[in-house]
Amino acid sequence: MAFDPATLRYDARGLIPAIAQEEETGAVLMLAWMNADAVAETLATGRVTYWSRSRQSFWRKGESSGHVQRLVEMRVDCDRDCLLLIVDQTGPACHTNRHACFYTAIREGAEVEIMSPEE
Amino acid sequence: MAFDPATLRYDARGLIPAIAQEEETGAVLMLAWMNADAVAETLATGRVTYWSRSRQSFWRKGESSGHVQRLVEMRVDCDRDCLLLIVDQTGPACHTNRHACFYTAIREGAEVEIMSPEE
C-alpha cells in the first residue's frame, strides 16, 4: 500500500518520536521529533528533517553543521506512534560533537561519561 | 557522581521515552515510556519496567508474557530527556510476537512488512 504520513499516530502536539540508528555501526545516535510534514519531507528528499520543538520550525539535520543524516530506510512500529530511521551519518550526530547523543551511562549507581567529543 | 532519576527531564506527564536496544544483535526493539519511579525500579531490579500510559501503572516488561528484558546498561542523552536501554531480550519484544516492534518499512513509497511473527 502507498504510505501516507497521516496514518501515523502523532501526539497532542502533532509530533512523533524518531530514533536515528546508524546503518554502518548499528549505533543508536539520537532521538528527535517529526510532524507529518517532516516525515513527508524526509521521505521525499532522503535528507532527515526533524521538527524543532524549541524553534517551532523544520530542523534539517546538518543544515548549519554539515553533519547531515541521509535516510537509508524509515520503519514504523506496531502502534504507529514511533519511527526508526536507518541513516548514514556524516560527522558527529550530537551537538556536543560526540558521535551519538547517549554518552553517559549508569554504572554501579553512578553516571559516567562513556564517549568523548570527536576532534 | 551518584545517579538520581530526578535529574532527568520528564515531559508534562512526568514521562521520558526509553529506547530498548538488544545487546547481542544491536537491534532496536521498541520505544516505551518511564516515569522517575520506573527508572529507579529498573536500575534497582535489573528488570526493565516501563510506565503504561494506557493502564497508568507500572509495566514490568514480560510479567504476563515471560518476554522479559534484563537491563545490561542504561544510558542518558545530551538533553537528559531520552534514555537508551541496552537489554537482553527473552523471546519477542513486540506484543505481535515479532522480535522487534519496528516491523514495517517504507520502500519505494509503499509500506511493506519486513519481519514476521515468531513461531
Chain B interface test: which of A28, A79, A103 (most B C-beta within 10 Å) = A28
* Residue A1, pLDDT above cutoff 70: no
Determine the Cα–Cα distance for residues A46 and A49; give it in Å rounded to an integer: 9
Nearest C-alpha of chain A: how many angstroms from B114?
A: 9
Is residue B3's pLDDT more than 80?
A: yes
| Domain ranges for chain A | 14-91
The answer, for B53 touching chain A at a CB cutoff of 8 Å, is no
Please state which of the four CATH numbers 3.10.310.30, 3.90.110.10, 3.10.20.810, 3.40.50.300 is assigned to the domain occupying A14-91.
3.10.20.810
- Alpha-carbon span A50 to B54, nearest angstrom: 27
Q: What is the CATH architecture assignment of B8-91?
A: Roll (3.10)
Rounded-to-integer distance, Cα B56 and Cα A19, Å: 24
What whole-number distance in Å separates Cα of residue A105 and Cα of residue A113? 6
pLDDT in tens, B40-94: 999 999 999 999 999 999 999 999 999 999 999 999 999 999 999 999 999 999 9
Reading the block at residue A47, the C-alpha cell is: 535528507
Q: What is the ipTM of this complex?
A: 0.97
| pLDDT of B119 | 78
